[in-house]
Amino acid sequence: MVRRMRRILPTALVGLLGCGGASDAAKPRAASDDTDKDFSKYAASHGIETLEGGGAAPEVTADGLRLEALDKPVKLDGVLSEWPAPAKATVVSGTTKSGLKISLQYDDAKLYVGAEIADGAFAAGQDHVSLVLAVPTPGASYATYALSFYPGKPGETEGSVRVGGRAAPGARIVEAPGAEGVTFEATVPWGALPEARVTRVGIHGVAAYVDGDGTVATGPGDAQHPRDMAWVPSEPELAMIEQLLGPKGLTRRTPDVELVADLTGDGRRERVAVWGNALTICGASYLGGTGYFFRDLGGQLVKLEAREVAGRRGADVVVRRKQSVGDAEREVLEVLSALSATAEPVITFAHEIAIRQSDRHIDNIVRLGRGQIEVTIEPPTRWDALSYREPIAGDVEPILLPWGDVRAQTFRFDGSKFTKAKEVTQKDQTPSASASATGDAPPPVHPAEPPTPRVSRGGDLSGQLLDLYRKDRGGAPGTAPRFDLKVQVAGDARPERVVLLGRDIVVFGPGLKGGTAYAYVTLQQFADAADVTDLAARDLTGDGAADLIVRGVRHVKSDQGPVDEEVLFVYAVQSDSVARVFGIETAREQGGKRIQGLVQFIPAPGGRSFDILAAPGRATGWTEKTYPWTQDPPGSGPIEPVLLPWGGIPSVRYSWNGSAFARSGG
Q: Which domains does the chain have, with CATH numbers?
A: 58-230 (2.60.40.1190), 297-434 (no CATH), 456-665 (no CATH)
Q: What is the pLDDT of residue 471?
A: 84
Alpha helices of 523-569 — where are they, by DSSP H? none
Nearest residue to 173 via CA among 83, 111, 88, 107 = 111
Report the distance separating Cα 288 and Cα 285, nearest Å: 6
* Strand (E) or helix (H) holding 465: helix 463-473
Higher pLDDT, 356 or 513: 356
Q: Which residue has the higher pLDDT, 10 or 419?
A: 419
pLDDT digits (tens, 9 = 90+) for 150-203: 999 988 899 999 999 999 999 999 999 988 899 999 999 999 999 999 999 999
pLDDT interval class at 49 (50, 70, 90): very low
Residue 121 identity (one-letter amino acid):
A
pLDDT at 395: 79
Q: How confident is the model at residue 38 (pLDDT cuts 50, 70, 90)?
A: very low
CA separation for the pair 486, 482 (Å, rounded): 14
- Does residue 557 or residue 26 have the better pLDDT? 557
pLDDT at position 633, please? Answer: 92
Report the pLDDT value the prediction gives residue 50, as an integer from 0 to 100. 26
pLDDT recorded at residue 62: 36
pLDDT averaged over the chain?
83
Q: What is the pLDDT of residue 665?
A: 59
pLDDT of residue 450: 56
pLDDT of 459: 53
Confidence bin at 2 (pLDDT 50/70/90): low
Which band of pLDDT confidence, cut at 50, 70 and 90, is reported for residue 600?
confident
Cα 433 from Cα 140, distance rounded (Å)? 52
- Mean pLDDT in residue range 378-388: 86
Q: Are 555 and 611 in contact (CB under 8 A)?
A: no
Q: How confident is the model at residue 390 (pLDDT cuts 50, 70, 90)?
A: confident
What local confidence, expressed as pLDDT, does residue 149 receive?
Answer: 98
Residue 117 to residues 165, 208, 212, 416, Cα–Cα distance (Å): 21, 10, 14, 54
Label residue 442 by pLDDT band (50, 70, 90): very low
The residues that bridge with 377 in the sheet, in sequence order, are 364
Q: What confidence tier does 461 reach under pLDDT thresholds 50, 70, 90? A: low
For the segment 470-482, the average pLDDT, to the nearest whole number, is 78
Instruction: Return the percentage of the chain with pLDDT > 70, whole number.
Output: 84
Q: Of the given ranges (19-33, 132-146, 514-528), which has the lowest mean pLDDT? A: 19-33
The DSSP symbol for 381 reads B
Distance CA 174, CA 158 (A): 8
Question: Position 227: which residue type?
Answer: R
Q: How far is CA 421 from the centre of its chain?
A: 25
Tens digits of per-residue pLDDT, 198-226? Answer: 999 999 999 999 998 999 999 988 888 88
pLDDT band at 142 (very low <50, low <70, confident <90, very high): very high
pLDDT bin (cut points 50, 70, 90) of residue 455 is: low
Helices vs. strands in the chain: H and E counts, helices first: 4, 40
Average the pLDDT over 32-48 and give the result. 36
Residues 6+ apart with CB under 8 A from 418: 310, 335, 348, 349, 373, 411, 412
% pLDDT > 90, the chain: 56
pLDDT at 599 > cutoff 90: no
pLDDT at 43: 35
Q: Which amino acid is at 293?
A: F
**315: CB partners within 8 A, 6+ apart:** 261, 262, 263, 306, 307, 308
pLDDT at residue 615 in the model: 87
Q: What is the mean pLDDT of residues 60-67?
A: 65
- State residue 33's pLDDT score: 36
How far apart CA 492 and CA 354 sit, in angstroms, is 37
* CA 335/CA 251 separation, integer angstroms: 28
Query: What's the rounded Cα separation, in Å, for the pair 91 and 546?
Result: 71
* pLDDT, mean of residues 117-144: 94
Among the ranges given (89-98, 187-196, 357-366, 392-401), the one the predictor scored with the smallest mean pLDDT = 392-401
pLDDT score for 19 = 33
Q: Check residue 57 and give its pLDDT.
A: 26
Going edge to edge, which strands form the sheet with 483-487? 456-457, 483-487, 496-501, 504-508, 519-522
Lowest mean pLDDT, pick from 192-201, 301-310, 386-395, 628-637:
386-395
- What does the pLDDT average to over 2-8? 47
Is residue 113 within 8 Å of 186, Cβ to Cβ? Answer: yes
**How far is it, in rounded angstroms, from Cα 662 to Cα 666?**
12
> What average pLDDT does this structure show over 502-519?
86
8 A C-beta contact, residue 263 and residue 314:
yes
Rounded (to 5) percent helix, strand, coil in the chain: 10, 40, 50
Contact 85, 38 (CB under 8 A): yes
Q: Report the range of poorest mean pLDDT among 219-223, 351-355, 640-644.
A: 219-223
Instruction: Over range 579-607, report the average pLDDT.
Output: 88
pLDDT at 258: 95
Q: Which residue, 307, 296, 380, 394, is CA-closest to 350?
A: 394
The Cα 115–Cα 128 span in angstroms is: 11
Mean pLDDT within 303-321: 95
**pLDDT value at residue 508:** 87
Best CA proximity match to 216, nearest among 178, 251, 181:
181
- Provide the pLDDT for residue 444: 33
Greater model confidence, 479 or 207: 207
Radius of gyration of the chain (CA): 31
Task: Check residue 516 and give its pLDDT.
Answer: 81
Closest C-alpha among 371, 354, 378 to residue 410: 371
Per-residue burial over 457-486, b = 16 or more CB atoms within 10 Å of its CB, e = otherwise: ebeebeeebbeebbeeeebeeeeebebbbb
pLDDT at 447: 38
Q: Which is nearest to 203 in space by CA: 134, 250, 111, 138?
A: 134
Side by side, the strands of the sheet bearing 547-556 are: 532-538, 547-556, 563-574, 577-590, 593-603, 610-620, 652-656, 661-665
What is the per-residue pLDDT for 18?
30
Report the pLDDT value the prediction gives residue 518, as an integer from 0 to 100: 87
3-state secondary structure of 432: coil
Q: Is 501 exposed, middle or buried (0-12, 13-18, 19+ CB in 10 A)?
A: buried
